[in-house]
Amino acid sequence: MNKTIFLVGLLSLLCALVDAKPQEKYNVLFIAADDLNNDLEVYGDPQVKTPHLNRLAKMGVRFDNAYCQQPLCGPSRASLMTGLRPDTLDMHTLKHELRKKNPNVVTLGQLFRKNGYFSARAGKIYHYGNPSQIGTDANDDPATWDERYNPAGIDKKQEDKIIRYSKNKGLGISMAWWDPVSRDEDHTDGMVATKIIELMEKPRDRPFFLAAGFFNPHCPYVAPKRYFDLYPLDKITIPDLEEAKRDLKDVPPMAIQRDTKNWPYYFKDITKEQARKCKQAYYACNSFVDAQVGRLLDALERNKLLEKTIIIFWSDHGYFLGEKGLWYKRKAFERSVRMPLIIAAPGFTKNKATQKTVELLDLYPTLADLCGLKAPENLEGASLRPILVDPKTSSWDKPAVSQVWHSPRAWGYSIRTEKWRYTEWLEGKAGRELYDHSTDPNEIKNLAMDPAYFRTIRELSKKLKPYVQLKPHKRKKAPKRTKKNK
């Protein structure tokens, strides 16, 4: 009798195994914005309308304390796509040198390719000069993708119509704007969304890793006029410059050395009204990007892919818009190294936010983990799964570390915990900064010289030290140019 029961049970199990289908793999929609800070409705700023990012946040987890590894497009994006810090990659500039210096690295999209995914991108994922390299492969990595698409819209093809305030620089670093009466699809970012929708709707017998790389709101600030109309100019405010000056009095000179020559706003003779117009244009570009995100979400829903797709929305770093009299990125302050990050993954937490400090290089191990892929063993981030399960988990206490590199004689590192931001310039030789984010979220008061905080500084310096891995040639004085090496 027992033998008969055993055989019947075994037969049932074998039949079940034969009939069972392999578990369906998740798709990945990887959405990138360029130079996007947290001045967004989804992050509590009611002025900057982001209905579609609000919708995405309700589908997943919003990360309130997410940080890049270096507030510069090239090294930030290379770090994210490899899961390795800029020091490990030896990449701190905009040069196209990922494979030259790291020929055997397995990038995020490459990992998905190796595991049977269709990997493709449209637009900017690795560094692109904007708008100079729009429509080209720029600094892209061919090994990451099965297919690559480089659309170019009127923001590239009609550059002569862009209004420029900074005359002596290219459009890639400018205070310039344009508000044409146009369709979204006339612009590069609208074309990027259209191509990604086309790719997700194309029938195929394998899951996809699709990367939508939007160029906005990177300067020049160009978007259809209706997005500008969302932000009446008289409602756009610019911080008081006298107050901004006082904010910088206790900051080490190296922290703002790129910004002091023509302070405020980085360029000579920029007026407050011109800065206000550029801020309006930046906000318009934010809402333009948000609209493209909405198009992607609609396509997922229309094609019944929402429950099969992990969605990541990220920016490569933050951005100053006149705070402290500063503009752009490349600083160790919160506004420069913090950026939006939203993850919506089927079966995980929805409509919650987390205060845990996380890093962009955590995305690689996270996606590998959620999709059941074996990641390279040398990744320097950690899977965000525990936070996606419980945004308040006590098991996550990892700090976020960012760095700034201007030259072998000007560089620094910054560590962020849930309470503190601590920064060392040249390992403290060129100054230190300490800000208490529980009471000073705008980093007005540098506490580094206050004896009451010396113990905190020692503790944070000790935590920071293992991350200072800048290679020797990036620390020394650069050799003088000679006729031979010019």
Q: Are residues 123 and 222 in the same domain?
A: yes
The answer as to whether 18 is a domain residue is no
Annotated active-site residue 219? The verdict is no
How remote is the C-alpha of 393 from its chain's centroid?
24
Give the model's pLDDT for residue 168. 77
Distance CA 259, CA 261 (A): 6
pLDDT (tens digit per residue) in 248-275: 999 999 999 999 999 999 999 999 999 9
pLDDT classification of 24: cutoffs 50, 70, 90: confident
Cβ count within 10 A of residue 279: 22
Domain end among 389, 409, 435:
389
CATH number at residue 459: 3.30.1120
pLDDT (tens digit per residue) in 122-145: 999 999 999 999 999 999 999 999
Q: Are residues 357 and 410 in the same domain?
A: no
pLDDT (tens digit per residue) in 359-414: 999 999 999 999 999 999 999 999 999 999 999 999 999 999 999 999 999 999 99
Q: Picking from 29-38, 446-455, 475-484, which range would have the lowest pLDDT averaged per residue?
A: 475-484
Residue 2 has pLDDT above 70, yes or no: no
Domain end among 367, 389, 411:
389
pLDDT classification of 476: cutoffs 50, 70, 90: confident
Give the model's pLDDT for residue 4. 47
The answer as to whether 11 is a domain residue is no
Question: Is 383 in contact with 362 (CB distance < 8 Å)?
Answer: yes
The answer as to whether 394 is a domain residue is no
Q: Are residues 414 and 357 in the same domain?
A: no
pLDDT (tens digit per residue) in 423-458: 999 999 999 999 999 999 999 999 999 999 999 999
361's tokens = 């290089």
Q: Are residues 302 and 405 in the same domain?
A: no
Query: Among the residues of 359-402, which ranges form H helices?
Result: 363-370, 385-389
Query: Among the residues of 303-384, which ranges form H helices?
Result: 334-337, 363-370
The count of domains in the chain is: 2
Q: Are residues 343 and 454 in the same domain?
A: no
Catalytic residue among 127, 187, 218, 317: 127
pLDDT classification of 278: cutoffs 50, 70, 90: very high
Residue 418 has pLDDT above 80, yes or no: yes
Report how far apart, in Å, the C-alpha atoms of 482 and of each of 369, 443, 466, 485 are.
51, 43, 37, 5
pLDDT classification of 11: cutoffs 50, 70, 90: very low
Q: Are residues 274 and 141 in the same domain?
A: yes
Give the model's pLDDT for residue 271. 96
Helix (H, G, I), strand (E, B), or coil: what is residue 65?
strand
Handedness of CA 190, 211, 53, 42 (dihedral sign): negative
Give the model's pLDDT for residue 486. 39
Distance CA 437, CA 418 (A): 8
Give this prediction's pTM: 0.93
The amino acid occupying position 453 is Y
Q: Are residues 189 and 331 in the same domain?
A: yes
Question: Is 311 in contact with 293 (CB distance < 8 Å)?
Answer: no
Q: Are residues 134 and 159 in the same domain?
A: yes
Residue 15 has pLDDT above 80, yes or no: no
Q: What's the mean pLDDT when you consider all of the chain?
A: 94
The answer as to whether 63 is a domain residue is yes
Give the model's pLDDT for residue 477. 63
The answer as to whether 13 is a domain residue is no
% the chain with pLDDT above 90: 92
The answer as to whether 4 is a domain residue is no
Give the model's pLDDT for residue 23. 63
CA triplet 388, 304, 385: central angle to 5 degrees? 10
Task: Output b/e per residue, 87-122; b: 16+ Cβ within 10 A.
Answer: bbbbbbeeebebeeebeebbbbbbbbbebebbbbbb
* Average confidence (pLDDT) over 53-71: 98
The answer as to whether 121 is a domain residue is yes
Q: Are residues 276 and 378 in the same domain?
A: yes
Give the model's pLDDT for residue 18. 40
CATH number at residue 114: 3.40.720.10
Higher pLDDT, 19 or 166: 166
pLDDT (tens digit per residue) in 290-343: 999 999 999 999 999 999 999 999 999 999 999 999 999 999 999 999 999 999
Question: Is 224 in contact with 180 (CB distance < 8 Å)?
Answer: yes
Catalytic residue among 73, 219, 278, 285: 73
pLDDT (tens digit per residue) in 167-221: 878 999 999 999 999 999 999 999 999 999 999 999 999 999 999 999 999 999 9
Q: Are residues 297 and 407 in the same domain?
A: no
470's tokens = 């800048």
Give the model's pLDDT for residue 480. 57
Q: Are residues 377 and 411 in the same domain?
A: no
Sequence-distant (≥ 6) Cβ neighbours of residue 189 within 8 angstroms: 123, 153, 214, 215, 216, 288, 289, 292
Domain end among 334, 365, 389:
389
Q: Are residues 383 and 468 in the same domain?
A: no
Sequence-distant (≥ 6) Cβ neighbours of residue 161 within 8 angstroms: 178, 180
Helix (H, G, I), strand (E, B), or coil: what is residue 411?
strand
The answer as to whether 2 is a domain residue is no
Give the model's pLDDT for residue 376. 98
Write out the residue range of the structural domain in which residue 363 sits: 27-389
Q: Picking from 15-24, 99-108, 410-419, 433-442, which range would have the lowest pLDDT averaged per residue?
A: 15-24
Residue 30 has pLDDT above 90, yes or no: yes
